[in-house]
């Protein structure tokens, strides 16, 4: 059976066990990879990196904190792009480094703990044997660029942070078999950095930006055994509500994905990119230039920007430019209950069980539509 679905990452549940028990039986037959739901502070994507890793670093200064909550109490989570943590590198520092290699960022710790649950539930048959454990990690510029406004400072932090990511993967592989692991690199800020010159009709500038933000992919992926599956998730952002950006077409996405696939220097198993409400050829035509090099494409079209029959119409349009692909939501669902009507229906119930049931139903229905369109 084709593995026609991808779960991008976050799920509105509180433990890996709950995620695996819901989605292993619920969608496992269509999945090649299964994430742990990005529980804990990973539900808020990079906010934990700002709070735990960058805030208080001895080589950096915190120049802005998230605003207090409605009761005036401090919080580590921003309410939007307007009040994110902001940092600068201290005078005289040329390269910011991160200690405790393999553990400093927290991804290894969470992956090891979640994989222990994953492998036990797999033995019990709740997770199909073919499914790999999926770890989702923001790539370097997605982790940093929103927090560090000075471009020169950003380049002082990025190499050391990439080193820290390499150390996390190296340590992770001491505890998780390569044949059981898939790593998804998240890219929301990288997309934005490419879209800036595109808005100015500066294609050469956009290509240069794509090559620059893809460099960490080369540095990291060349250290990862080929037995590990890797993929890339291109995103339009969710901090101010999904989608945070609405580009006129997919040019920026194609430039980014081509750059990271080429930079990886090894096979890439999958890529993911979001769609908006478009079902005309203008938005999707750039995918004629997508060089997948054997990677499976997953289209993030399972959302509520569509009108009636919008998903079917979008699939019919996309297949003119991509002859074969699977489906996904455009982003993770971890914060979707806080913002109904975009990733989840406004009519979904109020309980966690309602949310999870809706996600499974919508993905199952999407597979049926995909199979119907692609068979005709």
Mean pLDDT along residues 339-367:
73
Residues 91 and 151: beta-carbon distance below 8 Å: no
Strands 5-6 and 270-274: unpaired
Q: How far, in Å, are 23, 214, 319 from residue 247 at the CA level? A: 32, 20, 20
List, for residues 106-165, the tens digit of each pLDDT value. Answer: 999 999 999 999 999 999 999 999 999 999 999 999 999 999 999 999 999 999 999 999
Higher pLDDT, 114 or 356: 114
Supply the pTM of this predicted model.
0.93
Residues 10 and 107: beta-carbon distance below 8 Å: no
Task: Identify the top-confidence range among 79-88, 217-226, 230-239, 334-343.
Answer: 217-226
The reported pLDDT for the residue numbered 201 is 87
| Closest of 222, 104, 233, 92 to residue 156, by C-alpha | 92
List, for residues 167-202, the tens digit of each pLDDT value. Answer: 999 999 999 999 999 999 999 889 889 989 998 989
Q: How far, in Å, are 78, 90, 189, 359 from residue 152 at the CA level? A: 24, 12, 17, 42
Residues 328 and 370: beta-carbon distance below 8 Å: no
Tell me phi and psi for residue 234, to 5 degrees: -90, 135
| Closest of 190, 176, 279, 281 to residue 229, by C-alpha | 176
List, for residues 73-89, the tens digit of each pLDDT value. Answer: 998 888 777 788 999 99
Higher pLDDT, 36 or 9: 36
Mean pLDDT along residues 327-337:
76
Write down the mean pLDDT value for the chain: 90
The reported pLDDT for the residue numbered 2 is 66
Q: State percent of the chain over pLDDT 70.
A: 92
* Domains in the chain: ranges and CATH: 5-46+98-374 (3.20.20)
């Amino acid at each position: 059976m084709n593995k026609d679905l991808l779960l991008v990452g976050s799920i509105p549940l509180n433990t890996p066990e709950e995620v695996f028990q819901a989605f292993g039986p619920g969608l496992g037959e269509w999945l090649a990879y299964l994430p742990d739901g990005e529980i804990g502070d990973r539900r808020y994507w990079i906010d934990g990196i700002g709070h735990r890793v960058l805030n208080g670093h001895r080589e950096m200064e915190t120049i802005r904190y998230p605003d207090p909550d409605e009761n005036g109490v401090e919080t580590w989570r921003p309410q939007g792009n307007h009040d994110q943590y902001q940092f600068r590198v201290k005078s005289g520092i040329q390269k910011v480094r991160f200690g405790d290699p393999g553990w400093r960022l927290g991804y290894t710790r969470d992956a090891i703990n979640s994989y222990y649950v994953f492998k036990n539930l797999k033995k019990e048959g709740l997770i199909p044997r073919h499914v790999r454990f999926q770890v989702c990690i923001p790539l370097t510029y997605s982790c940093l660029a929103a927090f560090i406004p000075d471009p020169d400072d950003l380049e002082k932090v990025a190499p050391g942070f990439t080193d820290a990511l390499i150390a996390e993967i190296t340590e992770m592989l001491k505890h998780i078999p390569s044949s059981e692991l898939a790593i998804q690199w998240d890219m929301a800020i990288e997309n934005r950095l490419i879209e800036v010159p595109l808005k100015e009709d500066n294609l050469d500038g956009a290509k240069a930006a794509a090559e620059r933000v893809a460099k960490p992919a080369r540095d990291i992926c060349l250290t990862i055994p080929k037995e590990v599956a890797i993929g890339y998730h291109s995103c339009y952002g969710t901090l101010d509500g999904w989608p945070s950006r609405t580009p006129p077409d997919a040019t920026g996405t194609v430039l980014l994905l081509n750059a990271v696939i080429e930079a990886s220097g090894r096979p890439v198993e999958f890529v993911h990119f979001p769609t908006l409400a478009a079902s005309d050829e203008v938005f999707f035509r750039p995918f004629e230039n997508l060089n997948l090099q054997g990677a499976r494409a997953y289209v993030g079209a399972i959302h509520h920007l569509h009108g009636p029959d919008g998903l079917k119409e979008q699939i019919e349009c996309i297949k003119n430019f991509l002859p074969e692909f699977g489906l996904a939501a455009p982003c993770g669902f971890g914060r979707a209950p806080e913002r109904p009507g975009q990733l989840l229906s406004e009519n979904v119930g109020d309980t966690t069980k309602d949310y999870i049931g809706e996600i499974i139903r919508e993905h199952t229905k999407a597979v049926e539509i995909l199979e119907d369109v692609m068979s005709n």
